[in-house]
Amino acid sequence: MAEIKKFDSEKDLIKEIFPTLKGKINYVRVSKLAQKDITPDIDLLIMTSQNEIVGYEIKILGSDRGGNVSKTEFYKGIGEALMYLRYGIEKVGLICGFKSSLNENEKIKKFIEKLKDEKEKLEEIFGNYFSLGVYTTYIEWIFKAQSKFYDVEEKKFLERIMEEQRLSFDKKFSQILKKEINLW
């Protein structure tokens, strides 16, 4: 892991990772599902070609007072991703990038190594429906979701509103992705 790409905003990281996560139906920054406000918003909501519904929380991690990778946003991201499960999402995940202001690549590498060292414990805590990844120059998955978590009725409802486009999402940002990445 020689190079670590850093970002000024979550949007910049989403632009970077979106091409590798794209499914047959894609939404960014979803704030409403069928007229119902949701909190937290879903950074990436994807229906895969296998009709799995996956939601990703995206976080940019900065530094704490000691210059180490701040865990505050990391823990917040875990909680937000787990909250997605209330809406019928089958698999959830957290993808972390690093702020441009975080100068200590060695401290970033140490943070990533600690996640890898604790992989089995983290998988046990979060469950088989949770994925955890970090972005350096690509998404390095610490672990990937192995099974689905959903209520059948909630999943069917979410699938229908995704297909019917009955949700609110960041249309302007979606157009930017469409234009810049030329994916849709």
User: Cα(119)–Cα(122) distance, rounded to whole angstroms?
Assistant: 5
Residue 30: the pLDDT is 96
Are 26 and 49 in contact by the 8 Å Cβ rule? The answer is: no
Find the length of the chain. 184
Residue ranges of the chain with pLDDT lower than 70?
A: 1-2, 181-184
Q: Where are the domains of the chain?
A: 10-166
Whole-structure pTM value: 0.92
**Whole-angstrom Cα distance, residue 169 to residue 181?**
18
Q: What is the DSSP string of 14-70?
A: HHHHHHHH--SEEEEEEEEETTEEEEEEEEEEEE-TT--EEEEEEEEE-B-TTSSBP
Could you give the 3-state DSSP secondary structure of residue 73?
helix
Q: State residue 106's pLDDT score.
A: 93
From residue 50, alpha-carbon distances to 24, 44, 73, 94, 129 in Å are 9, 17, 31, 21, 16
Q: Are 133 and 142 in contact (CB under 8 A)?
A: yes
Q: Are 134 and 95 within 8 A, CB to CB? A: yes
Rounded distance between C-alpha atoms, residue 136 and residue 8, angstroms: 14
Q: What is the DSSP letter of 125?
A: H
CB contact at 8 A, 24 and 52: no
The SS3 assignment for 163 reads helix
How far is residue 14's CA from residue 66's CA, in Å, rounded to a whole number? Answer: 28
> How confident is the model over 2-39, as pLDDT tens digits?
689 999 999 999 999 998 988 899 999 999 999 899 99
Peptide bond into 40 cis (omega under 30): yes
What pLDDT was estimated at residue 174?
87
